[in-house]
Structure 1
């Protein structure tokens, strides 16, 4: 017993935490300390990786922003140096070789202060563009030609709808336009060729028989008028991936912008969908309705997000830029600026009647038009409009803004010009060229008028100056200006967008394209 106890006591117990592990083979197997030395080496090698992981986890939000800012500045500096090198070498590949050293020396000798100034201007421009402030002065470079001027190009108006076109949307690359109408048709247009293809909602496929899907052949088909199938709004995302339409069926229908296939329909509104807008750079969709609400949808998640309450009557227009600010206008004579993160709204009243349209000029400035015939320029810093154009469209609009009469300005004779009435002077559509000072407005007086945003002495927008008129027969129910300002597209029809209280039977129902002369 004693010998067994002595043998047990003489055995060394295994080290804590190393039970079950085999000693690693070393060159000196007779040295017993080699096992522990090898284990310490492994711990030393693993320590730096653990410390790096801890540093990555412990990186704060401020440190992350600082690191991303340094990387962005470094990338801009590299692009600036590359541009300077191309400017010094003249952009020719044949001159490379012996002159490389001289080119590098020339780049190094550039004034560092000038380089820093260029970099600062580039950063200011990027920030201003992200915030939606006016940066490009395009209005001064646009020339509106009269029909008798040299170089004048007649507008192209393609008939595609059986009833009045109600809205138009233009992609960010100015290559594709989308229109919807009261007959429920959705057309996709190639701007260059004016060729169109049609998109279909579920159950709206093409009919080859010309008769109703159900019922006997001898049963006469009823005339299709504005109904639950009618559409009154369309919007396209900034990347062109999604196209959304809405109308009398109280749903928001989403299509794939490239293939044209149907993606999904979103129910939720309790009345006609009257306006749609995407937030720039995102797939967040805002929908306005006659049920007096504005709803938010996430197309990435295919889900409903929130509802904005506040309007006391039908909401007729909605617009949004990159910031989380939404602009709405409605039949309650108000325009409202919604601050989504703060969950608040600013209310602006000045129009005497319903406000049919409103569009952002900058993130804090916008224009609006309504059935009172006035065009208003607003600023979020003032409760009253900055500038008002009474009778911007109508019989007296030409004399008021130094332009020819409506028939002369549009190239129509007195007999062809639409009969003057109060309804024809209603401002039914406005559009703003993104990040610029160019504005367009449309009505039923036979003209699309272009405006320039004039700065005020205190800064910001001060007034609108009329640049000229583009001839357009019929009611202009939707407008969009190309980002390059090369053309203006309009959704025109024989009737106004939201009713049938006026009619011009000689007008076309479709898309109108007006080319602009830009210096």
Structure 2
């Protein structure tokens, strides 16, 4: 029994020793793992961003495990409150910005109605690169009038060849052409059969109106160029057209010395206004229920107050006033065949300033004549205007001007050389380019002809200084 008992204790001892060796071996393996673990971790973090992100996620999860339930709730509540605060702050900033924009727009609208909105932009313009001017050709005879669509994407032009062309400004291609008809066959087609001298487009771009020497006003769908209606009533050439801004009320002027008012939506005649003593050569209007006209050789500018059935008469030019344009609701610019350019305000019957021979003088000594101003344009509610002239030589040009303080000065900025009669000018609404209708002849007649000129539309990009 004693021997057996001793062997039992010996076995137990051996078993415990084996277990101890096994435990030491396992401890040794752990030490080896720990020894190499840092190196393995370094290699993984440098070679794999994905595993690094996974490692961070495990660390974050371990931190969450260490959090108590109450601490986790508190942390999540703080995050939620912080998110709500950021969202409310962003919402408040957006509302403030929107209110500022609305307030600024309303303030501009009020100033515009009062004629006191004036953007001082003329000083920022630089002479254009002549090589960048594009000439769009499609009319056979002189361009007489043009208008731009409200989005500045299209220009409509008309000519003495009785045609109307809608152009894409971006690529310079024709979008649609309305060809002229044959005189005496008006009952067979709806087209112009005599020189088109005036054109207007509504401020929403819906209607296009054109007037001709045949005493007719044709209304077109500006998008499709389909004929909608014809107005009859003038007894002579329709020389001026303008839509009242924000409406479909149309004003027309004629060589019969009258101004007529039409409602295009209802295809209806409204009334006729008389007062000029000579053929009316130009007409313009803005948002007020009034229009302004130039009276040719009666040498007057008139403002027609439609609602009051009254008119204001202005004197200043010494020769025929051939073109006129509103700068804002209170100021306007006009040009005459004696080369004079004048700025006006509705509160004074005389020009605020008149520039004699604004485009220089031509001819031999003793028989010099000022270059004839044939068109004017204004960048709406700004201090920038343009004038176009013609001469018996190739010295025709477009000149840009800066209106001085209170519209009491006109300072020339730079000239843009062109060849031919500059019969019409329009600034884009953005002020990024100027469009000129050029022809071999004057739009109202054929006193002389420049064979060197090309009948076409000039797209003139305008450069600005970087502020």
Bucket of the pairwise TM-score, normalised by the shorter protein: 0.7 to 0.9
2:443 aligned with 1:484:
no
Residues 141-170 of structure 1 deviation map (CA, whole Å, 9 limit, x = unaligned): 22114x5xxxx6431112222111111111
Q: How many residues align?
A: 373
2:167 corresponding residue in structure 1:
189
Higher Cα Rg: structure 1 or 2? 2
1:299 aligns with 2:260: no
Specify the alignment match of 1:346 in structure 2: 312
1:368-383 alignment runs, 5 A limit: 368-383=334-349
2:121 paired residue among 128, 138, 141: 138
> Can you list the C-alpha shifts for 1:31-54, whole angstroms capped at 9, x where unaligned?
xxxxxxxxxxxxxxxxxxxxxxxx
TM-score, normalised to structure 2, is: 0.74
Which residue among 262, 274, 277 is the counterpart of 1:309? 274
Q: Is the 8 A contact 1:131 1:322 kept in 2?
A: no
1:359 aligned residue (307, 325, 343) = 325
Give 1:118 deviation, angstroms.
Answer: 7.4
After superposition, give the CA deviation of every residue in 1:483-517 in whole Å (9 maximum; x if it has no partner): 11111101110011111112110101121111111
Moved more, 369-378 or 438-447: 438-447
CA displacement at 1:203 relative to structure 2: 4.6
Change (3 A) 1:268 1:109: closer
| 380, 399, 408: which one aligns with 1:449 | 399
Q: Distance in 2 between matches of 1:304 and 1:430?
A: 29
Are the structure 2 counterparts of residues 263 and 464 from structure 1 closer, same or farther at C-alpha, using a change threshold of 3 Å? same
Aligned equivalent of 2:417: 471
Instruction: Show the 5 A alignment for 1:410-425.
Output: 425=371
Structure 1 residue 462, shift from structure 2 partner: 2.0
Task: After superposing the two structures, state which structure 1 stretch, 423-432 or 504-513, moved more.
Answer: 423-432
Q: Is the 8 A contact 1:424 1:443 kept in 2?
A: no
Over 3 Å counting, the alpha-carbon distance change for 1:428 and 1:100 in structure 2 is: farther
The corresponding residue for 1:233 is 198
- How far did 1:339 drift? 1.0
8 Å CA contact 2:161–2:180 kept in 1: the answer is no
> Under a length normalisation based on structure 1, what TM-score does the superposition of the two structures give?
0.67
Q: Please tell me whether the aligned partners of residues 148 and 156 of structure 2 are also in contact (alpha carbons under 8 angstroms).
A: yes
Note closer, same or farther for the CA distance 1:130–1:348 as it changes in structure 2 (3 Å cut): closer
Gaps of 5+ in 1: 1-95, 206-211, 214-226, 397-420
Closer, same or farther in 2 for the Cα pair 1:110/1:288, shift >3 Å?
closer
> Quick check: 1:123 aligned with 2:106?
yes
SS of match in other structure, 1:129: helix
| 2:376 corresponds to 1:393 | no
Q: Secondary structure at the match of 1:427?
A: strand
Q: Quick one: distance in 2 between partners of 1:353 and 1:423? A: 13
Asked if 1 retains the 8 angstrom alpha-carbon contact of 2:154 and 2:169, the reply is yes
- Superposed, 1:49-128 pairs within 5 Å as 99-105=83-89, 120-128=103-111
Per the alignment, residue 287 of structure 2 pairs with: 322
Over the aligned positions, Cα root-mean-square deviation in angstroms equals 3.0
Aligned-pair CA distance for 1:98 = 5.4
Q: Is the 8 A contact 1:134 1:361 kept in 2?
A: no
Partner of 2:254: 289
Structure 2 segments unaligned to the other structure (5+ residues):
1-79, 186-191
The residue correspondences of 1:113-262 to structure 2 (distance < 5 A) are 120-131=103-114, 133-145=116-128, 153-200=131-178, 203=181, 229-262=194-227
